[in-house]
Amino acid sequence: MNKALILIIDDEQRLVRSLQLALEADGYRIATAHTGSAGIETALERQPDLVLLDLRLPDFSGLEVLKQLQLQLPTCPVVMFSAHGDIKVAIEALKSGALDFITKPFDIHELKSLIARTLERCRLDKEVRFFRERELGKARLIGHSEAMRRLHEDLTRIARSGAKTLLLQGASGTGKTAVARQVHQLSKVSSGPFVEVNCAALPEQLLEAELFGSEKGAYTGAHQRRSGLVELANGGTLFLDEIGEMPLALQAKLLSFLEDHTYRPIGSSRVYQAEARIIAATNRELGQAAEEGSFRADLYYRLNVMPIRVPALAQRREDIPLLIEHFSLKMAASEGCSPVLIEQEIMNHLRDYEWPGNIRELKNLLERLTVLYPGEVVTLSMLPPEMQPSDYPTFCADGSIEDRLAETERDIILRTLEQAGGRKGAAAEKLGISRHAFKRRL
């Protein structure tokens, strides 16, 4: 794998050549330029990972070149050097966006160390940006319906407030995780961590250790100290999904943490403190569960300070076309194929469907259609049986309609293939379907 590309902009050709040989020996790729204008042109063309820029150039000052690079390649790091070690110039260079400033003559080993540190820092910055953008993509709430407009307004107010707890309620598959991420991103702690745990996924002792951590030897298999998610979420948001499934004994410890933000890891005699916004989500009616005794009433009232009910998909049907477009494009990108095409008749049918599985069911449908019928126009027969109209003739008791349809399709395909001289592409074109669909049917 090639190493980073470094652009050297300096009018001292012997120095540039020496630097090039020394850095190429370490595996770096090198581009060079001896004027400011050539340096800018090369930078825009080659998109270097790092620029070494001299302060004094024949046509422009290094500071002018730096400003142009900052304007046109804002994420490209620039290290400046000069034989004139003026502290004022160095300060101005750093204020203009240079990551560092060194004076000539310099030690080549120190320069190599500086380059390695700078590239590593930039690599980490890129990873942070990537994961943050990916999280933002996950959290984007899609829809312009009245229900979604009200939801977004409420989330914005709550996110920017000082409220420490938020309870999300709604049926399974309505997108409560995306809502929780949206709250985090709109909040004052958006630069902090977003930590998620599914309370239904772990048994009680493991869930307690997952939340509050444990000391070495606290239980069988605890071979070293383990940090809990409460500690990891300090300064950010802790999302407790399926809070209604949390065991009663652990609910008491969570309530204690919510009251004073302190906790004690399993097996520890020390008390720790952490500040994090708690977002809990459930598909259960916690008020009813509290009355029945399966959920602590005091914890319910502590969580229910800021309740939000996430609407079911059937309550926001006007958003269904937007969601279908979003998931069809996303699935096509994932599969590396063309998205399926949903014509108005099928779109109207899907909008009238009840969607008991909510957004999760819609997403799964688009994944299924994309895998089985990439780039094709979706018909009723392509939909799962439960989504087809009750009067749609998918089959009869003895399978006779299905058998006859299959036999007719077989005859048409084989006859068309024969007419096309055995050429599958030509046969597919005659039938008005894609080559991929023809091969699958064949």
239 and 284 in a common domain: yes
Task: Classify residue 141: in a domain, yes or no.
Answer: no
Domain count, the chain: 4
157 and 282 in a common domain: yes
Pairing of strands 50-54, 78-82: parallel
- 417: CATH: 1.10.10
Task: Classify residue 99: in a domain, yes or no.
Answer: yes
pLDDT number for residue 86: 66
Domain finish residue from 281, 311, 341: 311
pLDDT number for residue 391: 62
222 and 90 in a common domain: no
Task: Classify residue 198: in a domain, yes or no.
Answer: yes
258 and 207 in a common domain: yes
Low-confidence ranges of the chain (pLDDT < 70): 1-2, 84-86, 126-140, 218-223, 391-405, 407
Domain that residue 49 falls in: 5-131
- Give me the half-sphere count of Cα atoms (radius 13 Å) on the Cβ side of residue 200: 10
Integer Cα distance of 245 and 175 in angstroms: 18
- 285: CATH: 3.40.50.300
Structure tokens at 301: 């009232």
210 and 106 in a common domain: no
172 and 251 in a common domain: yes
299 and 169 in a common domain: yes
DSSP assignment string, 7-69: EEE-S-HHHHHHHHHHHHTTT-EEEEESSHHHHHHHHHHH--SEEEEESB-SSSBHHHHHHHH
- 37: CATH: 3.40.50.2300
Q: Which amino acid, 23? A: L
Task: Classify residue 223: in a domain, yes or no.
Answer: yes
pLDDT number for residue 2: 47
Task: Classify residue 138: in a domain, yes or no.
Answer: no
Altogether, the residues listed in the chain come to a count of: 442
Task: Classify residue 345: in a domain, yes or no.
Answer: yes
332 and 249 in a common domain: no
336 and 256 in a common domain: no
295 and 161 in a common domain: yes
Pairing of strands 277-282, 237-241: parallel
Task: Classify residue 137: in a domain, yes or no.
Answer: no
Q: Would the pTM count as exceeding 0.85?
A: no
Q: Which of 276, 282, 314 is nearest to 300 (CA)?
A: 282
288 and 235 in a common domain: yes
Domain finish residue from 69, 99, 131: 131
Domain finish residue from 131, 163, 181: 131
Structure tokens at 247: 């065991």
Task: Classify residue 84: in a domain, yes or no.
Answer: yes
pLDDT number for residue 397: 44
421 and 385 in a common domain: no
- 380: CATH: 1.10.8.60
